[in-house]
């Protein structure tokens, strides 16, 4: 009886869904099903117009990054080592995308797979071209995509409106950016309030399933609801303040200084002015590996380590009543002190953050251990991983986002929030004090076995980064 009613519900639902789909097939917002405007004051160029859809623009209208680099050499160098530059070629992305293309079933899953290109090769998507080679120089999130964004319609699933020049005809068009006094050059310039605010990044850094609306990545929403968005322009810390100020020596997180970076956007001989602050274009997150970063990335791996090491702190509190022949109780607090969003954020079904705990006596005897990785890179199954787990229709956990229908669990740490973990072990009566209790917080971009399975022979060992560490000695 129960099965029957569910089945009826499913039938009715899919009927409504299919007819709805047909009726909105020509709606340009179809590509951006989560279209929404944040409440409160919004940038003046978040507008209520049709977004750019496949075929609206031609790929040949856009300039290649290297041609922008002719007059913006410093910015080009920073950007070319970034994950944005690699977003299309990225082997992990390609492996998942191709698996999805092969295995996606039904309208909803297929729709989601089609949407991948919109963020990972936005110019390819908007031009409607289907032959998009891996080494396409306009692949990934490139200069002339971001700076041809005239406006967006809101947050999530890439609701951008593009206004490019015409590279083929050597017409630079208008570049949208943070200055309101740039001299015209090969291109014209226009101030864009959107580019100076998190809402610009939130166009793509808020991803929902294109078929069933399940929230998949919520970085912007996490930021919007968190303490770094005070809604007062004087005190709000935007994505750009942490991610476009970072440079060697300045991690620019929530727990470190975020100083200005004076200099030139273009050399003086090209017409650039001396500016009190130039936004950096390294776009560093937690990715350290040559899978995520382009092969020529020199600075980013180190910057990512510096960023991760200034993202969280640990606190260790030991129960003073602990004694031999009895229980040792202690608590580790993980505090998200550096991120403007949850820790971790983004592709949180893949990312791994976990605590490694050890209690060792003075003769090196291991009293307690948790969270170690074996030689294959597999994490001790008793350890807690801070991440999101998606479930598919059958209720099974899945890493194939296109099959995801619900969230099974999410135990990540909110911005300026903390997690308290309690540990307890038996202290044999012959332990030799002092005991050393140590906790290390680790980060890895993805589970090693998953990457091995996806990349096969081309796989490589993913580095594990120590984000924070705390230890103490007790004498019992
Ligand atoms: C992901 C989008 C994105 C990409 C890709 C990108 N930029 Fe930017 N760029 C921005 C944003 C956003 C700002 C302004 C930040 C602010 O005001 O808070 C900016 C600022 C600038 C500026 C003004 C000077 C400065 O840095 O403050 C120039 C010039 C510029 N970008 C050129 C480039 C070039 C050249 C490339 C490619 C090599 C590039 N950008 C790639 C988003 C991007
Ligand atoms: C012939 C040289 C030249 C080329 C090529 C060039 N730019 Fe520029 N660009 C400049 C100069 C000069 C400025 C002004 C810098 C200043 O005001 O300090 C500028 C300013 C900018 C700004 C700031 C606009 C604003 O109002 O905030 C952006 C963004 C920008 N360029 C992006 C690009 C992109 C993207 C490309 C490639 C499609 C590109 N530029 C190619 C010379 C060039
Ligand atoms: C066109 C959509 C798009 C826009 C707009 C965009 N991003 Fe991204 N961003 C991406 C994609 C896609 C990736 C993942 C690339 C990869 O790893 O293959 C990414 C990666 C990143 C990363 C690296 C994450 C890591 O794991 O290391 C950071 C940091 C980042 N973006 C920050 C920003 C900021 C800040 C802005 C706004 C100024 C912005 N992005 C605007 C699409 C976008
Ligand atoms: C207060 C500083 C701060 C602000 C504001 C901030 N971030 Fe971050 N972000 C960090 C730190 C620190 C990390 C490194 C820890 C991590 O990877 O989770 C990070 C990591 C990331 C990552 C990589 C996450 C991962 O593990 O794959 C992305 C993507 C990202 N940020 C995007 C954004 C976007 C988009 C915004 C604005 C909506 C933003 N950030 C605002 C500090 C900040
Ligand atoms: C609305 C924009 C958007 C869409 C659509 C989108 N992505 Fe992404 N993707 C991102 C952003 C932003 C990041 C960076 C998050 C982070 O680093 O944690 C990212 C990161 C990734 C990464 C991580 C790369 C790495 O090196 O760690 C993979 C893999 C990926 N996406 C696969 C996909 C697949 C497959 C699809 C289609 C089913 C897809 N994405 C659709 C925006 C998007």
Q: What does the pLDDT look like over 82-132, one tens digit per residue?
A: 999 999 999 999 999 999 999 999 999 999 999 999 999 999 999 999 899
pLDDT at 410 over 90: yes
How far, in Å, is the centroid of ligand 3 from the Cα of 27?
27
Residues 293 and 327 in one domain: no
Name the band, by pLDDT with cuts 50, 70 and 90, for residue 34.
Answer: low
* Distance from C-alpha of 304 to C-alpha of 342, rounded to nearest angstrom: 17
Closest residue by Cα to atom 29, ligand 1, is 265
pLDDT confidence bin for 476, thresholds 50/70/90 = confident
Tokens representing residue 458 in the block: 């081309």
Q: Are residues 295 and 258 in the same domain?
A: yes
Considering the domain architecture, whether residues 40 and 13 belong to the same structural domain is answered as no
Work out the average pLDDT over 425-431: 95
CA-closest candidate to residue 241, choices 323, 107, 233, 215: 233
Minimal CA–CA distance to 143: which of 122, 118, 117?
122
Q: Are residues 402 and 429 in the same domain?
A: yes
Atom of ligand 4 nearest to the CA of 220: 38
State if residue 237 touches ligand 3 by the CB under 6 angstroms criterion. Answer: no
Encode pLDDT of 48-70 as tens digits. 899 999 999 999 999 999 999 99
pLDDT of residue 27: 67
Burial of 458 (0-12, 13-18, 19+ CB in 10 A): exposed
- Read off the pLDDT band of 19 (50, 70, 90): very low
CATH number at residue 387: 2.60.40.10
pLDDT of residue 41: 79
Q: Is the per-residue pLDDT at 11 higher than 60?
A: no
Q: Which ligand is nearest to the CA of 184?
A: 2
Q: Residue 444: which of 469, 467, 413, 418 has the closest Cα?
A: 467
Does 17 have pLDDT greater than 70?
Answer: no
Q: Assess whether 184 and 141 both reside in one domain.
A: yes
Q: Which two tokens stand for residue 10?
A: 């499913």
Place of tokens 């993913």: 462
Residues 443-471, mean pLDDT to the nearest whole number: 96
362-386 per-position pLDDT tens digit: 999 999 999 999 999 999 999 999 9
pLDDT at 296: 87
CA 265–ligand 5 middle distance (angstroms): 29
pLDDT digit string, tens, across residues 209-220: 999 999 999 999
On average, the pLDDT of the chain sits at: 93
Token pair for residue 11?
Answer: 């039938």
Domain boundary among 303, 335, 361: 303
pLDDT score of 30: 77
pLDDT average, residue stretch 222-234 = 94
Mean pLDDT of 438-458: 96
Instruction: Please name which of 177, 160, 152 lies closest in space to residue 68, comparing C-alpha atoms.
Output: 177
pLDDT band at residue 35 under the 50/70/90 scheme: low
pTM for this model (two decimals): 0.95
| pLDDT at position 60 | 98
CA 347–ligand 5 middle distance (angstroms): 7
Residue that is last in its domain, among 268, 285, 303: 303
Hey, how many other C-beta atoms are within 10 angstroms of the C-beta on 233?
A: 10
Of the residues 303, 334, 359, the one at which a domain ends: 303
Lining ligand 4 with CB less than 6 A are 198, 201-202, 205, 219-220, 223, 228, 237, 239, 241-243, 253-254, 285-286, 307-308, 311, 338-341, 343-347, 351
Asked if 240 contacts 66 with a C-beta cutoff of 8 angstroms, the reply is: no
The neighbour count for residue 443, using CB atoms within 10 Å, is 25
What six digits make up the tokens of 362? 């003075």
Residue 313 shares a structural domain with residue 298: no
pLDDT of 38 above 80: no
pLDDT at 148: 98
Tell me the C-alpha to C-alpha distance, in Å, between residue 256 and each of 9, 251, 303, 310, 315.
Answer: 53, 7, 14, 7, 18
Give the domain range for residue 363. 309-474
- Structural domains counted in the chain: 3
d(CA 246, CA 255): 13
Residue 438 · residue 357 · CB < 8 Å: yes
243 C-beta closer than 6 A to ligand 3: yes
Tell me the mean pLDDT in the region 5-18.
42
Q: Which ligand 4 atom minimizes the distance to the CA of 467? A: 15
What is the C-alpha to C-alpha distance for residues 362 and 177, in angstroms, rounded to an integer?
A: 60
Residues 275 and 267: their CA atoms lie apart, in Å, by 11
Q: Report cis status (omega within 30 of 0) of the bond before 173.
A: no
Shared-domain flag, residues 7 and 64: no
Whether 198 lines ligand 3, by a CB cut-off of 6 Å, is: no
Q: CB–CB of 248/234 below 8 Å? A: no
Q: Report the largest interatomic distance among the alpha carbons of the chain, rounded to a whole angstrom.
A: 83
Q: How far does the centroid of ligand 1 lie from the alpha carbon of residue 79, in Å?
A: 9
Same-domain pairing of 210 and 355: no
Predicted confidence (pLDDT) per residue in 304-361, tens digit: 999 999 999 999 999 999 999 999 999 999 999 999 999 999 999 999 999 999 999 9
Quote the pLDDT of residue 2.
Answer: 42
Whether residue 10 is found in the same domain as residue 62: no
| Co-location of 23 and 52 in the same domain | no
CA–CA gap between residue 101 and residue 113 (Å, rounded): 6
256 and 397 both lie in a single domain: no
How is residue 76 written in tokens?
A: 């080009």
How remote is the CA of residue 292 from the centroid of ligand 3, in Å?
11
293 and 375 fall within a common domain? no
Q: Between residues 39 and 230, which one has the greater pLDDT?
A: 230
């Amino acid at each position: 009886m129960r099965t029957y009613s569910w089945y009826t519900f499913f039938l009715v639902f899919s009927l409504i869904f299919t007819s709805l789909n047909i009726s909105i097939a020509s709606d340009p917002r179809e590509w951006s099903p989560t279209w929404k405007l944040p409440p409160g004051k919004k940038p003046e160029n978040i507008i209520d117009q049709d977004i750019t859809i496949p075929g609206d623009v031609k790929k040949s209208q856009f300039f290649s990054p290297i041609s922008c680099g002719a007059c913006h050499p410093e910015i080009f160098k920073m950007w070319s080592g970034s994950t944005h530059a690699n977003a299309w070629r990225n082997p992990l992305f390609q492996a998942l995308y191709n698996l999805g293309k092969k295995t996606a079933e039904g309208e909803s899953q297929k729709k989601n797979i089609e949407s991948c290109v919109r963020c990972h090769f936005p110019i390819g998507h908007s031009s409607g071209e289907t032959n998009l080679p891996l080494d396409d120089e306009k692949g990934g999130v490139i200069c002339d995509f971001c700076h041809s964004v005239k406006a967006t319609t809101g947050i999530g699933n890439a609701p951008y409106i593009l206004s490019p020049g015409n590279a083929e005809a050597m017409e630079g068009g208008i570049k949208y950016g943070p200055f309101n006094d740039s001299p015209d050059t090969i291109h014209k310039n226009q101030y864009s309030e959107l580019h100076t605010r998190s809402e610009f990044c939130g166009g793509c850094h808020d991803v929902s399933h294109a078929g069933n609306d399940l929230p998949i990545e919520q970085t912007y929403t996490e930021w919007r609801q968190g303490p770094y968005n005070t809604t007062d322009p004087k005190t709000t810390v935007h994505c750009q303040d942490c991610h476009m100020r970072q440079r060697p020596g300045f991690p620019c997180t929530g727990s470190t200084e975020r100083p200005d970076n004076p200099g030139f956007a273009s050399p003086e001989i090209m017409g650039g002015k001396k500016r009190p602050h130039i936004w950096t274009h390294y776009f560093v997150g937690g990715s350290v590996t040559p899978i995520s970063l382009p092969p020529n990335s020199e600075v980013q791996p180190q910057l990512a380590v510096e960023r991760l090491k200034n993202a969280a702190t640990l606190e260790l509190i030991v129960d003073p009543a602990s004694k031999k022949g009895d229980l040792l109780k202690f608590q580790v607090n993980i505090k998200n002190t550096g991120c403007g969003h949850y820790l971790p954020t983004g592709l949180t079904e893949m990312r791994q953050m976990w605590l490694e705990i050890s209690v060792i006596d003075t003769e090196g005897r291991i009293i307690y251990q948790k969270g170690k990785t074996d030689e294959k890179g597999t994490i001790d199954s008793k350890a807690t991983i801070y991440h999101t787990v998606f479930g598919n229709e059958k209720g099974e956990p899945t890493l194939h986002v296109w099959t995801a229908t619900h969230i099974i669990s999410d135990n990540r740490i909110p911005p300026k929030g903390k997690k308290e973990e309690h540990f307890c072990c038996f202290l044999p009566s012959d332990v030799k004090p002092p005991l050393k209790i140590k906790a290390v917080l680790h980060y890895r971009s993805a589970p090693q076995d998953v990457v091995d399975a996806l990349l096969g022979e081309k796989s490589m060992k993913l580095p594990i980064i120590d984000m924070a560490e705390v230890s103490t000695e007790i004498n019992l």
